[in-house]
Amino acid sequence: MNKKILLMIFLLLIYVINSFSSLIRLGNKPLSLGNVYTAYNGDVYSLFTNPAGLYGDKMFDLKLDLLSNLNFTGNILYNINNIIENSDKFEKILQSQQEGTSIDIVQISSLLFAIKNLVEIDKPGKGMLVGINGGMSVKFKNFAFGVRNVTDIGLKPRVDTNFYLGSISTYSSNFAMNNISVLKFTETNNPSNAEGIVLTTSTLKYENLASVRDDLAENVLPWLINELEKMNVKVPQEIKDNLEGIANTLINLSVDNGASEKDVKNAVEQLKDPSLQKLISDILHKTTTSTTLEHNESGLTLKGVNYTELILGYSYSIFSNIHLGVGIKYLIGKTFYYNFKIFQKNRAIDFKDIMDLENKLIRNSQAIGLDLGAIYKLPIPVVEVNLGLLVKNLIEPYFNLPNTDEKLKLPRQVKLGAVGSFKILKFGLDLDLNKVETFVEGYNIQNVALGVEVIPPIILPSLRLGYLKNLAYESDQIFSVGLGFKIFIVNFDLCCAFNSQKTRINKDFVLPTSNLFLGLSLGVEF
């Protein structure tokens, strides 16, 4: 199925390209310290963390950096996986609406379960952040220049709760020796012209599912009939008195349509879920428009940008202990935007014409940004202490998206930092003074971070540890660790950062972390 393949491509893209977060933009060594770098000085990383820190220490510093990250917010993969697993059932429901044929209990459960997951992933902060960051930067005295390529991708769900199946009518009639009760979803009150979903009572053909049939008749159908009556649908007494027959039909149709016994059992278990029943009840009674499933707007919005950033930085000492810095950025790249509608027929991308696809989904865009920073060296003996202030994106770069008036903006951020040095130990603190938005609506970032570095006096690797807490999103924290190796003028750094929050993929599989960073860098300095 094209829809299913496309969603899988999106997920594969996420795993291959990895993920975007504001952390990966600043470099390998800062990440290993929990991003505590606003008050650091002396190396080329200050070009990105605070240009005022380009003064002092190293005359020349060259770095090649590559950083990647996986970041899934709010168990988003679990919800999407549930929708994907049920996606082939939607086609049959659409066909039933158009042709007036029957649907089975597995299809009904799949639709309602998909609605539940769509509502779940529409909650604030749910989504995916995707990207990769790599580049080169060089520092000479107080000047620095950097080039890097960044890919930022955001995947955000969208829910249309108007799940309308048509007006509902019921009737019953006698044909020879068989009493047939019919439940139709139709556009007319005349049963003879009814088009939609037809349910007829029958005997159960699959005895192994007798207990499931009883469960369906006792715990699901009464709820469904109650909801229909709340919508002023007159349900004949023959149907109320023959719930077992209706349950037989739903189960028979499921197995006849290729569902396994396990599928049928899972479907009934899902329909028994009180939270699902409450959710569907709320949606049914709030629905005000006659939008069939085929025209439902629920889906996923994929938007992002791939750009190359050129940045020039300079640090100037106005006093021996006060330093100011500026970073000027020019960004050029391509934005992309795709509105993927889960239930609609024409929802797959046609890959036959690549040029046409590029014209529809991709747009060239350019932007300019400006960073300002300051560092103050406190006159304290024994311990060297720096205080730092950074205004990142004082001029906020933004990119135009294709086929929409929406823009992607790299938001302004103000940071304070402090770092102290005592013999072989460096320790620091950073604090974001404002909250910044990401490409996933509702997932914002405002960090407080701690970092410590141990620099051995002999030829041993430096050890870096960091902790970062996102104050703008509950349970969002990152632990980081890094090693720095130096052989004469060549240095090599490794870093890893992760959070302790698990993310569920499906009911049987849980990833140990929802956010994992890996990075490495190679450099020359003297």
Q: Which pLDDT score, from 0 to 100, does residue 86 have? A: 60
Q: Which pLDDT score, from 0 to 100, does residue 443 have? A: 75
pLDDT tens per residue, range 24-34: 456 889 999 99
Count of beta carbons in the 10 Å neighbourhood of residue 317: 14
Grouping H, G, I as helix, E, B as strand and the rest as coil, residue 236 is coil
pLDDT tens per residue, range 325-371: 999 999 998 888 877 776 665 544 444 444 455 566 788 889 999 99
Lowest mean pLDDT among 199-203, 294-298, 420-424: 199-203
pLDDT tens per residue, range 453-499: 999 987 899 999 999 999 997 778 899 999 999 988 999 999 999 88
DSSP H or E segment with residue 131: strand 127-140
Tokens of 320: 């021996």
Which of 2-11, 92-101, 144-153, 460-469 is most confident?
460-469
For the residues 292-316, what does the mean pLDDT come to? 80
Distance CA 201, CA 397 (A): 63
Asked if residue 441 has pLDDT above 60, the reply is yes
Would you give the DSSP letter of residue 292?
Answer: B
Q: Are 480 and 32 in contact (CB under 8 A)?
A: yes
For the residues 303-318, what does the mean pLDDT come to? 90
Closest among 429, 439, 514 to 475, alpha carbons compared: 514
Asked if residue 15 has pLDDT above 50, the reply is no
Q: Which pLDDT score, from 0 to 100, does residue 87 have? A: 58
pLDDT tens per residue, range 87-126: 555 566 666 656 655 556 676 676 666 666 666 665 655 5
For the residues 231-250, what does the mean pLDDT come to? 76
Q: Which pLDDT score, from 0 to 100, does residue 448 have? A: 96
Supply the pTM of this predicted model: 0.68
Closest among 453, 376, 438, 447 to 415, alpha carbons compared: 447
Asked if residue 392 has pLDDT above 90, the reply is yes
Q: Which pLDDT score, from 0 to 100, does residue 44 have? A: 95
SS (H, E, C) 153-167: EEEEEECCCCCECCE
Asked if residue 138 has pLDDT above 60, the reply is yes
More confident residue, 303 or 469: 469
Tokens of 414: 């103000």
DSSP H or E segment with residue 468: strand 462-470
Distance CA 185, CA 179 (A): 20
- Cα distances (Å, whole numbers) of residue 316 to 462, 494, 522: 29, 31, 27
Q: Which pLDDT score, from 0 to 100, does residue 287 have? A: 55
Which of 190-194, 301-305, 443-447 is most confident?
443-447
Q: Which pLDDT score, from 0 to 100, does residue 50 have? A: 96
Across the chain, what does the average pLDDT equal? 76
Asked if residue 17 has pLDDT above 50, the reply is no
Distance CA 68, CA 16 (A): 10
Q: Strand pairing partners for 66?
A: 134, 520
Q: Which pLDDT score, from 0 to 100, does residue 161 have? A: 58
Q: Give alpha helix (H) positions in 318-369.
A: 354-361
For the residues 138-159, what does the mean pLDDT come to? 82
Which of 62-71, 80-89, 111-120, 446-455 is most confident?
446-455
Q: Which pLDDT score, from 0 to 100, does residue 369 have? A: 95
pLDDT tens per residue, range 369-386: 999 999 999 998 889 999
